[in-house]
């Protein structure tokens, strides 16, 4: 068993590259999803029927869809419609599309929990539309929604593992490759498990730090 | 894609359904047991459970699945794709359920429990007649949410050879050279089920907030 | 010799750095109504909870009808099962009622006699209905606790304690969480209970009630029994300075008349 871990250690380059790729794709999709989600959130609270209905359908649709099926539809299915994305493109597209819906919903929930006064004050001072949203509404929103966004970040990290099925060289794929070449399944995958755990602890630490920042500004 | 193709996809649904239902049914009581181990502050066990749950909640299902499927035979425990799939599902969902149950346990009014103690109810009675009925009700929305999460991750089970909806859809796609329609059929099976669970969860949450307002 | 229902000997309890109870000793005869008075933080509730071992005393012993509570004869701590048996002989009424919300009023009262004492269903039901009538809530038997007022909930709580036919009932500030106009109905039930001869230990701030109903006052301050005596003696001529200060503060407060 110790020998097995020695093998994994000798392949640490591959493992670290996988970890790096996991981190990259998770962070990039999270940032993009948060950005797109923030754009979508006002539609979820819109008083006009059409934008509300469209946004609602998109969000609920993504929530009811298994993530992996979305990946397969994009990677295997879209080429037949003329849109061919490689595994990184498909993975990123799937993660961003899927989590835009979740981020929009999270921000909507946080928005509704906010007190209306600061926004009203913003309006009274002449802020409106996009400016109002970006400078007055959004910052406290993101701070308040921190823990929930953190949870979603963890979810994104875990969903990225599904991309091993389309041969994207993230962490699980690296562990799988080490396993299949050296026959060290336990050592390889347990190491991956602890690396995922480490990533999640990092996210939770980040959320706590954000929480402390939020406390000061409350 | 023909009707018989659609049928083969539906047959895969049988495996998906069986694994999902079993996973859910086993994950509920195991999650509760884990939550109680932590809540009752059993000395060593509580800490171990906390560590176990934290690890499992951070582990992607596919990684856990591959770990179990490949590592267990390596240490002398032969395991097939369906058993590995079920084990992975149960380990995963029980860890998440544990946190749902634990939230309800922590929110449970202590004085009701003390009232049960004061009339001489033993631990089993307190649990069965006072604690469980109420935490079950409080945990329902969260547990239903976990059920829908479980169903949404089942497509990955095909990776170890389980012949489920996804594997069947892939097979049809490979044979007909039209990969998109079978996946859309698979979606057409999954989405309504998850949607129904989502509606159930929202209804439960509404009912609960109404009950809280009333009391 | 008068039947000593309860014997508390040298009970002490600390929470962290704070000593909440310090060598508290007293005895209660059958049929007595002992009112425990004292300023906030004097340890009154903790004392009650140490009697039925909801809190574990750090030192001292509690004897119910001569039998030690919480500790077996050979010195080891009682298991939950054994402690539960001891508790069936003591009833408790809680400040925040602690009714079980998923059961109806009648079910609340019947629950313990049925499932702990395992008495026959018909007998338990008849007695429960009689108890509910006694506290004036016969018509509410099918209602759920959420629908009741605070005073009604507490009366159900009293009926629930009575249903176990206990030797003694502990009242932990039974009216402190009630709106003033609901206090009276609960105190009335308690006064009748006392007159019928139930042994009661009542932690309360209701001075008029204590004065009228108590057979003995126990005055606690900072975890110690500072004074004990008959109500007339305590209220008209307290011997300790702390008791005098305490009564002074309460002299100006309006007190509810049962």
Provide ipTM, 2 decimals. 0.88
B215 → chain C, closest CA residue: C146
Q: What is the mean pLDDT of residues A84-95?
A: 94
What gap in Å lies between CA A186 and CA B68, rounded to an integer? 8
C141 Cβ contact partners less than 8 Å away, ≥ 6 residues apart: C104, C105, C106, C128, C129, C132
Q: What is the mean pLDDT of residues B82-102?
A: 96
Give the range of the structural domain holding residue B94, as residue numbers without chain letter: 3-214
Run of H or E residues at A180: helix A171-182
Return the bridge partners of C21, or none.
Answer: C13
CATH number, domain of B129, equals: 1.10.3720.10
What gap in Å lies between CA B78 and CA B80, rounded to an integer? 7
- The whole-number pLDDT of residue C171 equals 97
- The whole-number pLDDT of residue C251 equals 66
Domain A2-216 in CATH 1.10.3720.10? The answer is yes
N-terminal to C-terminal alpha carbon distance within chain A: 52
Q: At what angle do helices A185-216 and A146-160 cross, to 10 degrees?
A: 160
How crowded is residue A71: how many other Cβ atoms within 10 Å of its Cβ?
25
Which region among B6-15, B166-175, C158-167, C183-192 has the lowest average model confidence (pLDDT)?
B6-15
Confidence of residue B40 (pLDDT cuts 50, 70, 90): confident
Closest approach of chain C CAs to the CA of B28, in angstroms? 21
- What's the structural domain count of chain B? 1
Domain spans of chain A, in order of start = 2-216
The position carrying tokens 């003591």 is C90
Which region among A127-131, B87-91, C191-195 has the lowest average model confidence (pLDDT)?
A127-131
Confidence of residue A153 (pLDDT cuts 50, 70, 90): very high
Chain C residues whose CB is inside 8 A of the B137 CB are 102
- The whole-number pLDDT of residue C2 equals 53
Inform me whether the pLDDT recorded for A161 exceeds 80: yes
Interval A9-48: pLDDT, tens: 888 899 999 999 999 999 999 999 999 998 898 888 888 8
- The whole-number pLDDT of residue A138 equals 74
Which region among A134-143, A165-174, B133-142, B183-192 has the lowest average model confidence (pLDDT)?
A134-143
Share of chain A above pLDDT 90, in %: 57
Sign of CA dihedral A33, A39, A42, A47: negative
Give the pTM. 0.85
Inform me whether the pLDDT recorded for C257 exceeds 50: no
- The whole-number pLDDT of residue C12 equals 95
Q: How is residue B140 written in tokens? A: 């329902």
- In this complex, which of C87, C100, C164 lies closest to B117 when CB atoms are compared? C87
Q: What's the DSSP call for residue C28?
A: E
How crowded is residue B184: how many other Cβ atoms within 10 Å of its Cβ?
14
Chain A residues whose CB is inside 8 A of the B191 CB are 61, 64-65
Cβ distance B186 to B166 under 8 Å?
A: yes
Q: What's the DSSP call for residue C226?
A: E
- In this complex, which of B59, B75, B151 lies closest to A196 when CB atoms are compared? B59
The position carrying tokens 């407060």 is C253
Return the bridge partners of C169, or none.
Answer: C91, C200
CA torsion angle C23 C24 C30 C33 (round to 10): 180
- In this complex, which of B117, B129, B215 lies closest to C115 when CB atoms are compared? B129
């Amino acid at each position: 068993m110790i020998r097995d871990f020695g093998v994994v250690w000798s392949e640490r380059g591959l493992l670290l590259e996988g970890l790096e790729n996991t981190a990259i794709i998770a962070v990039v999709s999270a940032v993009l999803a948060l950005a797109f989600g923030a754009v979508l959130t006002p539609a979820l609270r819109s008083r006009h029927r059409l934008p509300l209905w469209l946004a609602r359908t998109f969000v609920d649709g993504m929530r009811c869809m298994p993530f992996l099926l979305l990946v397969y539809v994009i990677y295997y299915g879209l080429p037949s419609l003329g849109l061919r994305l490689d595994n990184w493109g498909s993975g990123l597209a799937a993660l961003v599309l899927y989590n835009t819906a979740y981020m929009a919903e999270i921000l909507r929930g946080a928005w509704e929990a906010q007190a209306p006064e600061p926004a009203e004050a913003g309006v009274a001072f002449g802020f409106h539309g996009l400016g109002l949203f970006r400078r007055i509404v959004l910052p406290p929103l993101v701070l308040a929604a921190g823990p929930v966004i953190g949870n979603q970040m963890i979810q994104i990290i875990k969903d990225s593992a599904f991309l091993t099925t389309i041969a994207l060289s993230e962490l699980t794929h690296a562990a799988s490759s080490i396993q299949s070449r050296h026959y060290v399944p336990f050592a390889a995958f347990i190491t991956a498990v602890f690396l995922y755990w480490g990533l999640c602890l990092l996210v939770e630490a980040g959320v706590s730090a954000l929480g402390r920042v939020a406390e000061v500004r409350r | 894609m023909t009707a018989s193709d659609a049928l083969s996809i539906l047959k895969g649904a049988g495996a998906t359904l069986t694994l999902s239902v079993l996973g859910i049914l086993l994950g509920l009581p195991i999650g509760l047991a884990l939550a109680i181990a932590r809540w009752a502050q059993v000395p060593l066990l509580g800490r171990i459970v906390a560590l176990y749950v934290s690890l499992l909640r951070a582990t992607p299902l596919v990684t856990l699945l591959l770990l179990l499927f490949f590592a267990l035979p390596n240490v002398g425990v032969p395991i097939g794709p369906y058993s590995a799939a079920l084990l992975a599902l149960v380990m995963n969902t029980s860890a998440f359920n544990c946190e749902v149950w634990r939230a309800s346990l922590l929110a449970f009014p202590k004085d009701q429990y003390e009232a049960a103690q004061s009339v001489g109810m033993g631990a089993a009675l307190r649990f069965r007649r006072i604690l469980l009925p109420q935490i079950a009700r409080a945990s329902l929305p969260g547990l239903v949410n976990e059920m829908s999460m479980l169903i949404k991750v089942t497509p990955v089970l095909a990776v170890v050879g389980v012949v489920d909806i996804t594997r069947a859809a892939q097979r049809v796609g490979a044979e007909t050279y039209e990969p998109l329609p079978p996946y859309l059929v698979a979606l057409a099976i999954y989405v309504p089920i998850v949607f129904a669970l989502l509606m159930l969860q929202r209804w439960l949450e509404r009912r609960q907030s109404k009950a809280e307002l009333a009391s | 010799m008068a039947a000593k229902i309860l014997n508390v000997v040298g009970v002490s309890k600390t929470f962290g750095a704070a000593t909440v109870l310090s060598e508290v000793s007293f005895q209660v005869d059958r049929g007595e109504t002992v009112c425990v008075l004292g300023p906030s933080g004097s340890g009154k509730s903790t004392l009650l909870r140490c009697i039925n071992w909801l809190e574990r005393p750090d030192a001292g012993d509690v004897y119910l009808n001569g039998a030690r509570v919480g500790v077996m004869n050979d010195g080891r701590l009682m298991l939950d099962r054994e402690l539960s048996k001891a508790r069936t002989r003591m009833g408790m009424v809680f400040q925040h009622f602690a009714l079980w919300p998923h059961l109806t009023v009648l079910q609340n009262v019947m629950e313990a006699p049925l499932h702990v004492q395992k008495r026959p269903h018909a007998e338990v039901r008849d007695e429960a209905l009689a108890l509910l009538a006694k506290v004036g809530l016969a018509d509410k038997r099918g209602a759920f606790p959420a629908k009741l007022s605070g005073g009604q909930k507490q009366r159900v709580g009293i009926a629930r304690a009575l249903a176990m036919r206990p030797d003694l009932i502990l009242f932990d500030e039974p009216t402190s969480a009630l709106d003033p106009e609901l206090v009276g109905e609960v105190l009335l039930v308690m006064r009748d209970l006392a007159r019928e001869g139930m042994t009661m230990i009542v932690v309360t701030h209701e001075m008029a009630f204590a004065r009228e109903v108590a057979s003995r006052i126990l005055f606690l301050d900072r975890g110690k029994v500072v004074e004990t005596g008959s109500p007339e003696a305590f209220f008209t001529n307290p011997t300790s300075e702390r008791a005098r200060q305490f009564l002074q503060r309460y002299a100006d407060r309006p007190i509810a008349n049962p």
